[in-house]
Amino acid sequence: MSGRHSMLWTHEGVSLSRLITKETLDAVLDFQIRDDDIVVASFPKTGTHWLSEIAVKILRAAGKTEESMDTMTSGPMEATRPTATQPSYITLADIPSPRLVVTHLPIQFAPKGISKPQNKVKVLVPMRNPKDTAVSMFHFYKKLWRLMGVNMELRWEEFVEDVRSGMVSFGDYCDWLVGWWQMRDNPHFLFLKYEDMKKDLLSAVKTIVAFLEVDLDESTIKDIAEDSTFDNMKAGLDNSTIAERRGIARKGIIGDWKNTFSSEESAAFDAWCEKKLGGTGLTFDFE
Ligand code: A3P
């Protein structure tokens, strides 16, 4: 692979960043999930930090932790942060419970404790419409490459094709969705759409509180929802102790894709989504 694709390698048909090694993938499959772990399984840019922050706020309000999101998670377990020396799954093994475990892996590469959950583990899966996800990824990768000192220009016209053909880290987003969506009726799992959260955050927080089996009163739940709006979360993310988190809160809206996609690119995405998601029951709001 050349140019921008030189950052990728392929494992069992899925493109992955070269920052994720085969050794890590092998180790992660048997990573010990704890009974009281809360997992966020997300494709990048679909609301990972949003859901993580809400989960942490709920645990704190319930008196189950005093930690902040920055200290409770060390980023996607399979990745080595640009500023870290080892993959996060190693760091995670030493973090006291309750832990927030984040992964971007497709279901077939995820720890068995997540893909075949036992006991009480809870898995939150955010999902976002593929066009806004692609735009968000584009802006984030540009920032990440700068942070990593990658001296290459990322061009939208090429990137949008890469997303549609699965030539981005974690592969084809629609395949990723279909993989995890198999767990939709499993009681360990809660799927939440970014667009629904944006339209009614209070209901989403109530649903998460119930799913996590935490007892909180109505006014505490309202406060958590209020503190978790984009505007109220932005300052915390922008001032995070973790460098790559400072670029997360960008626009936080539904429909930003309209400012970026050409009509041809949009039609090609529609065809891709229809081909992959048609018949699965998975649909998205694009505005
Ligand atoms: P945009 O780039 O479209 O603004 P992730 O956490 O999975 O990396 O996703 C990042 C995306 O979620 C970014 O999207 C970011 O702005 C958005 N986001 C983060 N916090 C949010 C919030 N409280 N409300 C809405 N969107 C939020």
DSSP per-residue codes, 61-114: HTTS----HHHH--S-TT---TT-SS-HHHHHTTSPSS-EEEE---GGGS-HHH
Q: Is the CB of 156 under 6 A from ligand 1?
A: no
Pocket test for ligand 1, best of 49, 200, 240 (most atoms within 8 A of CB): 49
Task: Tell me the average pLDDT across 68-86.
Answer: 84
Tally of CB atoms within 10 A around 137 = 24
Mutate to test the pocket of ligand 1, among 48, 50, 239, 259 (most ligand atoms within 8 A of CB): 50
- Residue of 79 and 247 predicted with greater confidence: 79
Is the beta carbon of 251 within 6 A of some atom in ligand 1? yes
Residue 150 lies in a domain: yes
136: Cβ below 6 Å to ligand 1? yes
- 138 CB near ligand 1 (under 6 Å): no
Any domain includes 285: no
pLDDT of 81 strictly over 90: no
Query: Quick check: is 283 in a domain?
Result: no
Residues 91-130 pLDDT 10s = 999 999 999 999 999 999 999 999 999 989 999 999 999 9
The confidence score (pLDDT) of residue 1 equals: 54
- What's the confidence (pLDDT) of residue 245? 86
The reported pLDDT for the residue numbered 80 is: 87
156 phi, psi to nearest 5 deg: -55, -45
Percent with pLDDT over 90 in the chain: 83
- Domain membership flag for residue 143: yes
Q: C-alpha angle with apex 19: 18 to 24, nearest 5 degrees?
A: 105
Residue 214 lies in a domain: yes
16-73 pLDDT per residue, tens: 999 899 999 999 999 999 999 999 999 999 999 999 999 999 999 999 999 888 877 7
Least confident of 51-60, 139-148, 172-181, 230-239: 139-148
Residues marked active site are found at 104
CB 56, CB 72: distance < 8 Å: yes
Is 149 part of any domain?
yes
Q: Ligand 1 in contact with 50 (CB < 6 A)?
A: yes
Please state, in angstroms and rounded to a whole number, the distance separating the CA atoms of residues 53 and 12.
Answer: 32
Tell me, yes or no, whether 284 lies in a domain: no
Percent of the chain with pLDDT over 70: 99
3-state per-residue secondary structure call for 197-265: HHHCHHHHHHHHHHHCCCCCCHHHHHHHHHHCCHHHHHHHHHCCCCHHHHHCCCCCCCCHHHHCCCHHH
Centre of ligand 1 from the C-alpha of residue 250, in Å = 7
User: Which region, left, alpha or beta, applies to residue 83 given φ > 0 means left and ψ of -120 to 50 means alpha?
Assistant: alpha
For residue 50, the enclosing domain spans: 3-277
Look up residue 32 and give its two tokens. 């010990």
Residue 224's identity, in one-letter code, is I
| Residue owning tokens 């549609």 | 164
Assess whether pLDDT exceeds 60 at residue 173.
yes
- CA of residue 252 to ligand 1 center, whole Å: 5
pLDDT above 80 (res 82): no
pLDDT for residue 241: 85
pLDDT value at position 219? 98
pTM above 0.95, yes or no: yes
Parallel, antiparallel or unpaired: strands 38-41 and 189-193: unpaired
Decide the pairing of beta strands 38-41 and 122-127: parallel
Helix H or strand E segment including 185: none
Ligand 1 pocket, residue 46 CB under 6 Å: yes
**In the predicted structure, residue 168 carries a pLDDT above the cut 80:** yes
Q: What whole-number distance in Å separates Cα of residue 111 and Cα of residue 258?
A: 37
Q: Report the separation in Å between the CA atom of 274 and the middle of ligand 1, taken as the mean of its atom positions.
A: 25
Q: Tokens standing for 20?
A: 């994720």
Q: Which ligand 1 atom lies nearest to the CA of residue 139?
A: 2
Overall number of domains in the chain: 1
Measured in Å, residue 21 CA sits from the centre of ligand 1 at: 27
Residue type, position 176, single letter: W
- The CATH number of residue 135's host domain is 3.40.50.300
